[in-house]
Amino acid sequence: MKKLSHYDSAGSARMVDVSAKTETRRVARAQAFVRIRPAVLKKLPQNPKGNPLEIARIAGIAAAKRTSDLIPLCHPLMLSHADVDVTIEKKGVRIVATAVTTAKTGVEMEALTAAAVAALTVYDMTKALDKSIEITDVYLLEKTGGKSGDYRRV
């Protein structure tokens, strides 16, 4: 089994030293799904709090930029690009977040954080209409760059 790099030899949590790594272009995409009843989906355009999909998109981008403030051992990264696509589907809202940087460490956590926060924002903006909304399927879709190479979820 591969040794986890966020623990030292005594088992204590630590921030990984990436100073010897080479900077490469890194891209990650992650997704989340917000399961919403069809009747509630139809009411999204009339939401009294505003357009929940646009607010969620902006919240996700802001979250990507603040990931290291939320996840204790994440390195602060200067993002070159962050974007969140929010799409209404038959059973809810699909969120796909992208994060891009040129750095010594990857942007998977930034993409995942963006997707999760965007999903939480959709919930926050629609909870008055339905408390049974579910956030599901938060996962990494793909990542490129870095020593470990490319990954694509199949």
Sketch out the chain's domains with CATH numbers: 24-152 (3.30.70.640)
b/e per residue 61-92 (b: at least 16 CB within 10 A) = bebbbebbeeeeebeebebeebbbebeeeeeb
Name the active-site residue from 124, 130, 137, 150: 124
pTM: 0.92
Q: Is residue 24 within 8 Å of 102, Cβ to Cβ?
A: yes
pLDDT for position 101 = 97
Query: Among this protein's residues, is 124 annotated catalytic?
Result: yes
Q: State pLDDT tens for residues 10-27.
A: 777 888 888 888 899 999
- pLDDT for position 36: 96
Any idea what DSSP says for residue 105? S
Q: What would the mean pLDDT of 119-131 be, rounded to a whole number? A: 92
Sorted by sequence, the CB contacts under 8 Å of residue 81 that are 6+ apart come out as: 98, 99, 100
Average pLDDT over residues 80-86: 98
Mean pLDDT (whole number) for 101-114: 96
Mean of pLDDT values over 69-89: 96
User: What is the pLDDT at residue 2?
Assistant: 59
